A and B are shown apart, each in its own frame.
Chain A
C-alpha cells in the first residue's frame, strides 16, 4: 500500500530536510508526508495556515514560512488569518485595516498598534460644524475638517471670539466692543 510511506522505486524522497514521502497508487505521484514545521504541499512548497512565505521560492526569492503578522489585530481562535503567500491579513478586527492590520479603517482614527480594543475610534464628526464627509477625519488625531471659525476635534463648537454655529455655515464673529466688554 503506497500510502503508508514507502518511497517509489527506492529513490530518496524529494522532500525538504529528508522528511518522508508516499506514492499515490493510481497516479504514481509522490507526495511529501511529513513536511517541516509550518509547511504543506506535495513538496512542502506551501505555508501552513497561520503562516506565510514561499519556502521553495516558486514565486520569486525563497522566503521561509513565518507566522502571520497582523499586529495582534486578529483573533487567535480564527483560521485563515493571512494569505499563505503574501501574508496579507484577511480578518482584521477592532476597525483596523491594511495588509498587516496596521491602520485604522476609513471613518475611524487612532493608533492601530495600541494594545486596547478601543484603539480605533469612530470619527463621528459633528454634522453642524463639519465641512464635507462626516467619516473623514485625520487618521491619527481624529481631527475633523471644520467649517469657518469652528473648532474642536469633532467640529462641535465655535472658536473663541465667535458664536452661533449654524449647520453648513460655521460661526460668526462676536464683534464685542473692546471698550465695553471683558472678552
Chain B
C-alpha cells in the first residue's frame, strides 16, 4: 500500500504520531488551528513512535518499532522511504541536524545513540554505554549540541554532548522520574522536558542551569515540542495534544484527535529554518 501526503499549507505545523499514522495541526500565533488538523500520512502497518522534521528539504522523519525502521517522506508529496532497517530494535527518539545534514536516534533495547547522514549512510554508534531506557533526543545545530533523556527508574537523567560525541555530561539528574519528552527551542535557547513520573513540564537554559517548573500535576506526557510561547505535549491518559503557555505556566488548549487512541512523539515543522551556520561545512 502506498500512503500519500497532502501538501501542507504554508506556516508552522505540529506533527504527531498516533499508531499507524502521522497527523498535523497548523499553528497560528495563539495556538492550534484545530479545525484544520488532518492526517498527513497513513502508515497502517507501522507503530510510529518518534517524529522529527528537516526544515531545509521539508521532510518528515520517523521511527517505527514494528519494522523496526527509520523512514522519511517529503511534505510536498512522495512515497515514504525506509532509510535505516538493519541493526535496530526499539528506536524511540530521533533528532535532525538540518545544518550538518545528519540525524541522531536512540534505541532503548540496544541501549545506544547513533548518528547517520540524512539518507541513512555513514552510520556510526555515538554512545553505547550508560544508557538504560534512552528515549527523547533533540539537537541544537547552531551550537553543535545534542540533548537526550534516559527514563531508567533507578537513575533517570538528561544528558548532553557535542554532536561529534565528545564532552558527554549529565545536565539534570535530580528530581526526575520518567522524562519521556524533550524539546529545544533555538529562539529562546531553552531546553524543556515533560516527565510522566513527576508529572511536570520543566525548562532550563543549558548554559545557565536555571531550572524552572512550567506546569505540574499533568497526567501522562510522552512527547513535547515547542513553538513560540507555547509548549505542546502528547498525553497517554488524555489521548490528546495539550498546549501550555510557557510564561503563564498553564494549559491553554486541548486537541482531541478524531481517533481516540494513544499518541506518541510530536515535533514542530517550522515554516522557515531557525537561523544558524554550519561550521563544519568547509571540511
Contact = CB atoms under 8 A, between A and B. Distances in A.
A49 B261 CA distance: 10
The range of chain B's interface size is 20 to 34
Interface string B1-36: 111101000000000000110000000000000000
Contacts of B39: 3, 22, 33
Contacts of B232: none
B2 A29 contact: yes
Interface string A45-81: 0101110000000000000000000000001011110
A49 B1 contact: no
Interface stretch (B41-49, B122-130, B183-191): B41-49
28 contacts: A1-B6, A22-B39, A22-B42, A24-B4, A27-B4, A31-B42, A33-B42, A33-B258, A33-B259, A34-B259, A35-B259, A35-B261, A37-B261, A38-B261, A40-B20, A40-B44, A40-B261, A41-B20, A41-B44, A41-B45, A42-B42, A46-B44, A48-B261, A50-B262, A77-B196, A79-B264, A80-B90, A84-B66
B19 A3 contact: no
B111 interface: no
Contacts of A4: 38
Main secondary structure of the interface of A (DSSP, over half): loop
A10 interface: no
Interface in A19-39: 20, 22, 24-27, 29, 31, 33-35, 37-38
| Nearest 10 interchain pairs by C-beta | A40-B20, A80-B65, A41-B44, A49-B47, A40-B19, A42-B44, A24-B4, A31-B42, A3-B6, A34-B259
Nearest to A49: B47
Contact of B260 (A24, A25, A37): A37
Nearest to B64: A80
B259 A27 contact: no
B230 interface: no
Contacts of B44: 31, 40-42, 46
Interface residues of A, number: 31
A27 B1 contact: yes
Contacts of A50: 262
Q: Which residue of A38, A40, A50, A91 has the most chain B CB atoms within 10 A of its CB atom?
A: A40
A12 B165 CA distance: 54
Contacts of A25: 4, 6
Contacts of A91: 109
Contacts of A29: 1-2
Contacts of B180: 77
B258 A34 contact: yes
